[in-house]
A and B are shown apart, each in its own frame.
Chain A
Amino acid sequence: MKELKLMKGNEALAEAAIRAGCDAYFGYPITPQSEVLEYLSREADKRTGMVVLQAESEVASINMVYGAAGTGKKVMTSSSSPGMSLMQEGISYIACAELPCLLVNVNRGGPGLGTIQPAQGDYFQSVKGGGHGDYRLIVLAPSTVQEMADFVELSFELAFKYRNPVLILTDGALGQMMEKVELKVQKERKFEDLGWTTTGRNNGNGRVITSLHLKPDQMEEINIHLQKKYKTIEENEVRVESKNCEDAEYIITAYGLVARICNKAAELAREKGIKVGVIRPITLFPFPKKEIKELTKNAKGILDVEMNAGQMVEDVRLAVEGKVPVEFHGRMGGIVPSPEEILEKLEEKFIGGVV
């Protein structure tokens, strides 16, 4: 029997965390994602005994995640743009120490303290390593409330498979909107000794988790190992969705909720006789380079649409290697583009406004 509920994106994500058997959440409230902490505070402990703690700051939250992740538990935090910036140091430590955890960024308008409306200005921070050093997060970008829920369990799977932090990058609109969501059955919380976890000596040799390696040759070894891991992730974990690209003259690339607005723009375009397809990267790292190159090889042009000044568009350009013209349309600061506006831009940039 399917369990269908009408939920906000933030609530669906929180509910999915409980059901995925998440052990602990550490976070600090910030609009537009405070529902995650609110929901978990209300529901989690009484249902599964999951620890939910409002820390004194984002810096404290991420370091609590670091500590708890070191025990091999399923742990997570969530925040929105300015809060994520505060966490970057800790994220870099976690990436170096190779600890699995789930991070959630409900992106709002920036830079600075910015607005509380939806935006995608944190793409670079999320996929290029927002903190210091050469590290990567696995980044998943949901586009529906259903995916807000589904990606929680997937994130934990990937995080433990690769011993790497996974980031769900979403935005304020998806966090606040309601849709139907089908919930998974409750998973049991369980503890396993994974071989690297720091859970007491148990008369054996102590295990050490650290990101401090003072000898450069040792640090280089760790870097080489990390890069190898990221390569494996790039080879195995690309996820991408494409719609009506087979016969498309023009292709729109977009991620998250914006991709759905672009789907509507593509529908409007087809009503006018312009064949438009849409490619939606689901994993932003690893980025679907090959897939985009392949799917756009016969296209006359690509319009990349984002709620920022043009970030993912750089990766799209790299993917197509100059073989297809790539144009960009973006809105910033918390403004969401409309389907009509996207179609108008596509016509203006490629067809010269005359159809």
Chain B
Amino acid sequence: MTEEIIIAGFGGQGVLTMGTILCYAGMMENKEVSWMPSYGPEMRGGTANCITIISDTKISSPIISKCDTVIALNQPSVEKFEDAVKPNGLMIYESTNIIEPPTRNDIEIIGIAGADEAAKMKNTKILNMIMLGAFLAKKPIIELENILAGLKQVLPERYHHLLPLNEDAMKRGMELAKAAGVTA
């Protein structure tokens, strides 16, 4: 198993954190992991993205231009990364913010209204966990309990009271994906 993922959105939406959680969780399952952030001026208010690779075998290049999955949290990310998905790959997009969804017909496209759901759960910051949940519903490459353990590693201790909320958000994301007919 090798899963190459590009996660992209606005700075502050938690896209880099999503990748970090996957890496920590992957490590707990003795998988090979790599996380390559976009860094520089674009992180300060603009768009941010990271390439996250989880694999059972040694990872050659941490930098890729074609990937298995793109998770897009804003409109510019759809435009920038839609073509990066390999044929038969997966694109998950946040359908509240993204008004022009991806259009390719050789990939699977899943829209998740993560921002709406986060607002319903009264914390817009958990959007990233909802989207991560939706991704794991489609591709359960890592055990849920390890994802939660990974989250614990990433979240500074002073925010650990928010762990249950984040867990709920991820499960909600999984439910949303299943309700939209997504199966693993």
Contacts and interface: CB of A to CB of B under 8 A. Distances in A.
Interface string B40-53: 10000000000000
A-B pairs with lowest CB-CB distance, top 7:
A264-B61, A338-B65, A263-B60, A178-B35, A264-B60, A261-B61, A177-B36
A293 interface: no
Interface string B141-184: 00000000000010000000000000000000000000000000
14 contacts: A6-B20, A6-B153, A31-B40, A116-B40, A172-B39, A177-B37, A178-B33, A257-B62, A260-B63, A261-B63, A263-B60, A339-B65, A340-B65, A341-B65
Contacts, number: 67
A320 B40 CA distance: 39
Contact of A338 (B23, B34, B39, B63): B63
A260 B60 contact: yes
Contacts of B138: none
B34 A178 contact: yes
Nearest to B41: A116
Nearest to B150: A6
Interface of B: 20, 23-24, 27, 32-37, 39-40, 59-66, 153
A216 B62 CA distance: 51
B153 to A, nearest CB: 8
Interface in A258-291: 260-261, 263-265, 267
Contacts of A173: 36, 62-63
A32 B32 CA distance: 25
A178 B65 contact: no
B133 to A, nearest CB: 21
B63 A267 contact: no
Nearest to A116: B40
Contacts of A177: 34-37, 62
Contact of A339 (B33, B35, B61): B61
Nearest to B62: A177
Contacts of B20: 6, 178
A117 interface: yes
A261 B62 CA distance: 7
Contact of B63 (A178, A179, A180, A257): A257
A7 to B, nearest CB: 10
A267 B32 contact: no
A176 B60 CA distance: 17
Contacts of A265: 61
Contact of B40 (A117, A257, A261, A338): A117
Contacts of B37: 176-177
Contacts of A339: 61, 63-65
A32 B129 CA distance: 29
Nearest to A5: B27
A173 B62 CA distance: 9
A115 B42 CA distance: 13
Contact of A178 (B23, B61, B64, B66): B23
B15 to A, nearest CB: 14
Contacts of B34: 177-179
Nearest to B39: A176
Contacts of A6: 20, 23-24, 27, 33, 35, 153
B184 to A, nearest CB: 26
Interface in A105-123: 115-117
A146 to B, nearest CB: 11
Given A32-B39, A178-B23, A340-B66, A260 B61 contact: yes
B62 A179 contact: yes
A4 interface: yes
Contact of A179 (B24, B35, B66): B35
A32 to B, nearest CB: 7
Contacts of A263: 60-61
Given A338-B63, A339-B61, A339-B64, 7 more contacts: A4-B27, A116-B39, A178-B23, A180-B27, A257-B63, A260-B61, A264-B64
Contacts of B27: 4, 6, 180
